[in-house]
Amino acid sequence: MWKKKKGMEGDPDLQFLLQGGDLLKVRSPSWKKTRYFKLQEDCKTVWHESKKTFRRKQTFSLDDIAAVRMGRQSEGLRKYTEEQVEIRCFSIMFKGRRKNLDLIASSEEEAKQWVSSLEKMVSRLKNLSCQQKTEHWILSCLRKADKNKDDKLSPSEVKNFFRLINIDVEDEYAEMLFKKCDKSNSGYLTGEEIQHLYELLTQREEIDVIYGEYARTTGFMNSENIVDFLMKEQREKATLEDARRIIEKYEPDENVKEKKLLSKDGFLMYMQHPEALILNSDHTEVYQDMSQPLNHYFISSSHNTYLMEDQLKGPSSTEAYIRALLKGCRCVELDCWDGSDDEPVIYHGYTLTSKILFKDAIKAIKEYAFKTSDYPVILSLENHCSVEQQKVMAHHMNSILGSALITAPLGQGMPTEFPSPEELKGKFLIKGKRLNKLEAIYASEEAADNTDVTEEDESNDEDEEKEGEQAKKKKKLKLAKELSDMVIYCKSVHFHGFEDAAQNLSFYEMSSFKEGKAVGLAEESANAFIRHNVDKLSRIYPAGTRTDSSNYDPVPLWNAGCQIVALNFQTNCTDMDVNQGRFLVNGKSGYILKPAYMRDLATDFDPITLTRGDWLKHKTLHVMIISAQQLPKVNKKKSSIVDPLVKVEVFGVPADVAEKETNAIENNGFNPAWNENFQFDVYVPDLALVRFLVEDHDSTSDNEFVGQYTLPFNSLKMGYRHVPLLNKNGDLLPSAGLFVHIMVVDA
């Protein structure tokens, strides 16, 4: 009944993985052990033997794999293996904080086969439609429920199955469903009876009602009905041609498709497809003007990018850079210190965090910088190195980044403003200290000393924050000319007030602000801060007291026009969810164009006082939370079922910040229904974000996180919409989602 997925039985890659084989697992120079790995019958779970008797069932899901990398690309393999085994090595990288799996195959061919087969299966899983994911998930639960593996389900196995799919069914209801499906009166379910149970469970009443409204004439929706639905309910412009395309693309029944009709199954498939979800699909591509100066954009930015965990004793890793860049981060931080053998290292100074080589970080950044986004990456250097090792840093950046590194202003003559993200595509910018003004390049001036100079007045806020007592001596930084000359558009300077900056600083001279100071300025002098950010860049970073790598709320700083609001990407929290929501759109390019009134030097915009102006576009947002589907269990204990509730949160200018929540539904994570309505006033829609948060209600302690989805207010689509849900790490929950109705009207 629940065998392998259709259409893949003869696939050689699938057969290879089902067969499995021995691989050498590497953990340290002395721990290298042979383990047997194979894909299980569900075509989704990989099993590998473990010599520890109490962990005999070592498994992981293909859904948990972030990437499979050929060669010695992980730190573990580089550290613990010799170069000659390079061609036989590969690593499995997992989502979240799970450690990589470093493996060595017996030959190059075998390693390539493992890598290509795993990549193919992971890609197939990713590309399954919502409906297929649902089937996949339910079938794997059925398989687990069938304890004695006889392809039949007894009443107790059906009860167990309900628990696995996160639905607590009263005994009478379970019995009623069982009897309804047990057509043969045999006391257990087989074949078509299990299929019938599956159909009863996946029936979506709310979808039936909407479909029924528009499929009145023949029991099916025709092209005119589809156009009606799209225009009346979904508030979309639609033609008969659009309707025919939907039938062609989504109708699973060939007979119905031939008649140019859409069945209920086809309608549901369309409604669950990305083009019909709550996020405006036009915004998933780059849709904004990318030819404005760089400082006219909010830029996705990371703080202490090298850290995987906390700031005191957690590991540093090149993997942390890779993860941030793949999430679309465009400004990464490198904390550089003198290392042994004249090789600079990166770590969190004066702490027990581990160290990585500067050159390894630059190599990882070069390889992964432009996989998610083509737009420029800023390398924010926190430089604590001696002049000699600064020269080594400059050499590594030059030799590894090559022509992608900006080492001179673009165009002819001294620039007066930043180049655009479009002009800087595929390029790296260095943010750091510089010995002289950029203008010196054109005046043929040499720096005071050809190797280094003493900087007295630019001791960086962040250095002071990190070094505590050491920094209070206002230590003088010696700077190598080779490194200084690489700083073109992002020269770090001290901030002495908005007036001083306007009079004395060039556009490329930028300051970093500790979160406390920045929040103070954003509250007390918001308009001055916004004007400052019209022609300068500002970088904000978390307070040094956040040793646990916690984050701060980025929204008030975006409201003040700050571009580089750096967060700890390694920490899962609401602030990071909001950051990912802000940069979810514009093709996940990591650059979001600021509204026009935040790009005008004469602007009167103030997010706190909200005087009249172009920014005031008062809207009323109506949200109806209808239902949810297949919410994951929070507590993996078999008997625990979630009691879900939904919170709708609005972030933005202070007047727009709001939160409303539904009642909790007891013991149903499979298909809870609320049908609750909320209303929000949104005054500055350009800066607003909407977050849907699902929690497991607990009356005795804090509610537990189940899933969330955050998106910009201006990217909401109206009408009946499915909302995908992300887990704590920001990864998609394969089958889970919310079903809502959205309406935005002028207030």
- For residue 628, give the 3-state DSSP assignment: strand
Residue with tokens 């259409």: 7
**For 154-161, which contacts have Cβ atoms below 8 Å and span 24 or more sequence positions?**
154/187, 154/188, 155/187, 155/188, 157/188, 158/189, 158/197, 160/638
Q: What is the DSSP letter of 239?
A: -
CA atoms within 13 A on the CB side of 626: 18
Does 53 count as an annotated binding residue?
Answer: no
Does 382 count as an annotated binding residue?
Answer: yes
Neighbours of 449 (CB within 10 A): 12
Which residues, given as ranges, of the chain have pLDDT below 70? 1-10, 50-57, 129-131, 133-138, 166-173, 444-476, 636-639
Does 209 count as an annotated binding residue?
Answer: no
Does 327 count as an annotated binding residue?
Answer: no
Residue with tokens 């956040």: 546
Does 25 count as an annotated binding residue?
Answer: yes
The one-letter amino acid code at 106 reads S
Distance CA 528, CA 498 (A): 7
Distance CA 240, CA 311 (A): 58
pLDDT one-digit tens code per residue, 183-242: 888 988 887 887 788 777 778 889 999 999 999 878 899 999 999 999 999 999 999 999
Q: Does domain 294-598 have CATH number 3.40.190.10?
A: no
Does 38 count as an annotated binding residue?
Answer: yes
Tell me if 47 sits within 8 A of 77, measured CB to CB: no
- 464: which residues sit within 8 A by CB, 6+ positions away? 471, 472
Tell me if 511 sits within 8 A of 564, measured CB to CB: no
* H helix count then E strand count, the chain: 23, 30
The pTM assigned to this predicted structure is 0.85
Tokens standing for 19?
């067969």
pLDDT of residue 169: 62
Does 304 count as an annotated binding residue?
Answer: yes
Does 433 count as an annotated binding residue?
Answer: yes
pLDDT of residue 53: 47
Does 47 count as an annotated binding residue?
Answer: yes
Name the CATH superfamily housing domain 131-202. EF-hand (1.10.238.10)
Tell me if 642 sits within 8 A of 166, measured CB to CB: yes
- For residue 387, give the 3-state DSSP assignment: helix
Does 48 count as an annotated binding residue?
Answer: yes
Q: Does domain 619-746 have CATH number 1.20.1250.20?
A: no
Distance CA 184, CA 181 (A): 9
Tell me if 260 sits within 8 A of 221, measured CB to CB: no
Does 30 count as an annotated binding residue?
Answer: yes
Distance CA 610, CA 617 (A): 11
Distance CA 320, CA 77 (A): 16
Catalytic residue among 283, 348, 384, 741: 348
Distance CA 249, CA 262 (A): 10
Question: Pseudo-torsion of CA 373, 376, 382, 384, nearest 10°?
Answer: 110
Does 6 count as an annotated binding residue?
Answer: no
Does 29 count as an annotated binding residue?
Answer: yes
Distance CA 154, CA 178 (A): 9
Does 539 count as an annotated binding residue?
Answer: yes
Q: What angle do CA 92, 635, 149 make, to 5 degrees?
A: 70
Q: Where are the domains of the chain?
A: 12-127, 131-202, 205-276, 294-598, 619-746
Neighbours of 385 (CB within 10 A): 23
Does 398 count as an annotated binding residue?
Answer: no
Handedness of CA 599, 604, 605, 608 (dihedral sign): positive
Does 46 count as an annotated binding residue?
Answer: yes
Distance CA 263, CA 251 (A): 7
CA atoms within 13 A on the CB side of 323: 29
Distance CA 414, CA 432 (A): 19
Name the CATH superfamily housing domain 205-276. EF-hand (1.10.238.10)
Does 28 count as an annotated binding residue?
Answer: yes
Tell me if 678 sits within 8 A of 668, measured CB to CB: no
- For residue 109, give the 3-state DSSP assignment: helix
Distance CA 163, CA 157 (A): 10
Q: What values do phi and psi take at 105, rounded to 5? A: -90, 170
Does 33 count as an annotated binding residue?
Answer: yes
Neighbours of 204 (CB within 10 A): 17
Does 481 count as an annotated binding residue?
Answer: no
Does 248 count as an annotated binding residue?
Answer: no
Does 674 count as an annotated binding residue?
Answer: no
Catalytic residue among 283, 296, 303, 396: 303
pLDDT one-digit tens code per residue, 98-120: 888 999 999 999 999 999 999 99
Does 26 count as an annotated binding residue?
Answer: yes
pLDDT of residue 383: 95
Q: Does domain 12-127 have CATH number 3.40.50.300?
A: no
Distance CA 394, CA 404 (A): 14
Same fold across 131-202 and 619-746: no
Of the candidates 246, 254, 208, 253, the residue with the CA atom closest to the CA atom of residue 228: 246
**If 0-12 CB within 10 Å is exposed, 13-18 middle and 19+ buried, where does residue 77 land?**
buried
CA-based end-to-end distance of the chain? 55
The alpha-carbon radius of gyration of the chain (Å, integer) is 28
Distance CA 747, CA 680 (A): 10
Of the candidates 253, 245, 272, 254, the residue with the CA atom closest to the CA atom of residue 132: 272
Distance CA 739, CA 277 (A): 10
Tokens standing for 639?
């008997």
Distance CA 514, CA 520 (A): 10
Distance CA 256, CA 5 (A): 24
Handedness of CA 11, 12, 18, 19 (dihedral sign): positive
- 367: which residues sit within 8 A by CB, 6+ positions away? 322
Q: What values do phi and psi take at 656, rounded to 5? A: -95, -15
Distance CA 448, CA 436 (A): 9
Q: What values do phi and psi take at 370, rounded to 5? A: -115, 25
Pairing of strands 428-432, 490-492: parallel
Does 616 count as an annotated binding residue?
Answer: no
Of the candidates 399, 360, 365, the residue with the CA atom closest to the CA atom of residue 379: 365
Residues for the chain: how many in total? 747
Neighbours of 259 (CB within 10 A): 13
Tell me if 49 sits within 8 A of 35, measured CB to CB: yes
Does 50 count as an annotated binding residue?
Answer: yes
The reply to whether 303 belongs to the active site is yes
